[in-house]
């Protein structure tokens, strides 16, 4: 029995190493294609800091010792804090996961399992989509509830979605879960979901979506 466990652990370790290698190769190709010399830091669309971006030292975030903060990030943070008001957030999910914004000051919350990290998560993409449906099903018809749920969405560009579908979509997946998750959040028409949009004041016009609603019960 012990030998079987060792063999299984070794097998899954090898699988994870292959997956990591694939991600790193993809990231390298992506950075080469967009001219990495333009960036201080870039991880697909999730985090992008260009050399021309002004960096800020901000007290809007906590635990950011290893994270660079651009002044654009500061502006987004101020907007997100305004949307929060003083009300408690019980559950928060950022799609795709953005480490910096999980460190917003005074944003105490529980993270939603499978919807904390969805990007290229090989084992949990289908579970993430299922979890989103389960969360929506907890919304009552009269929109009342005892827990406040917030989704912050940084929409992924079409080019990155296409590239990731080509590189990471498995044969079993008929559709790419990340694309569906973002679409279901951004284009949701529920009367119970308050949706607000932030648009950067520049020509690139980066959007950030804030979705806010109440559910009856807890998210397991």
**Structural domain contains residue 76:** yes
Which residue range is the domain that position 116 belongs to?
A: 50-215
Whether residue 171 has pLDDT greater than 60:
yes
**Structural domain contains residue 198:** yes
Sorting pLDDT into bands at 50, 70 and 90, what band is 204?
Answer: low
Computed on alpha carbons and rounded to an integer, the radius of gyration of the chain in Å comes to 19
User: CA 204 from chain center: how many Å?
Assistant: 20
**Structural domain contains residue 28:** no
4-8, 106-110, 119-123, 146-150: lowest mean pLDDT where? 119-123
What pLDDT score was predicted for residue 197?
94
**Structural domain contains residue 40:** no
**Structural domain contains residue 91:** yes
CB 153 within 8 Å of CB 186: yes
DSSP state of 62: S
Residue labelled with tokens 């019960």: 217
pLDDT tens for residues 52-89?
A: 899 998 889 988 877 789 998 999 999 999 999 888 99
Q: How far apart are CA 70 and CA 60, in angstroms?
A: 12
**Structural domain contains residue 67:** yes
**Structural domain contains residue 204:** yes
What pLDDT score was predicted for residue 14?
63
Whether residue 180 has pLDDT greater than 80:
yes
Number of compact structural domains in the chain: 1
pTM of the model: 0.78
Whether residue 3 has pLDDT greater than 70:
no
**Structural domain contains residue 38:** no
What pLDDT score was predicted for residue 78?
94
């Amino acid at each position: 029995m012990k030998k079987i466990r060792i063999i299984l652990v070794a097998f899954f370790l090898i699988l994870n190493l292959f997956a990591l290698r694939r991600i790193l190769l993809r990231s390298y190709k992506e950075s080469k294609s967009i001219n990495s010399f333009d960036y201080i830091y870039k991880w697909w669309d999730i985090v992008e800091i260009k050399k021309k971006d002004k960096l800020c030292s901000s007290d809007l975030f906590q635990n950011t010792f290893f994270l660079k903060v651009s002044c654009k990030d500061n502006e987004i943070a101020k907007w997100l804090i305004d949307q929060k008001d003083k009300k408690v957030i019980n559950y928060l999910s950022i799609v795709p996961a953005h480490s910096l914004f999980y460190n917003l000051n005074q944003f105490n919350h529980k993270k939603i399992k499978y919807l904390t990290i969805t990007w290229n998560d090989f084992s949990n993409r289908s579970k993430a989509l299922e979890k989103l449906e389960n969360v929506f099903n907890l919304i009552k018809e009269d929109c009342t509830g005892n827990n406040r749920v917030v989704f912050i969405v940084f929409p992924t560009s079409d080019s990155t979605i296409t590239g990731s579908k080509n590189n990471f979509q498995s044969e079993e997946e008929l559709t790419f879960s990340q694309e569906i998750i973002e679409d279901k959040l951004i284009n949701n028409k529920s009367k119970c979901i308050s949706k607000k949009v932030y648009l950067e004041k520049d020509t690139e016009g980066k959007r950030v979506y804030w979705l806010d609603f109440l559910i009856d019960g807890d998210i397991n």
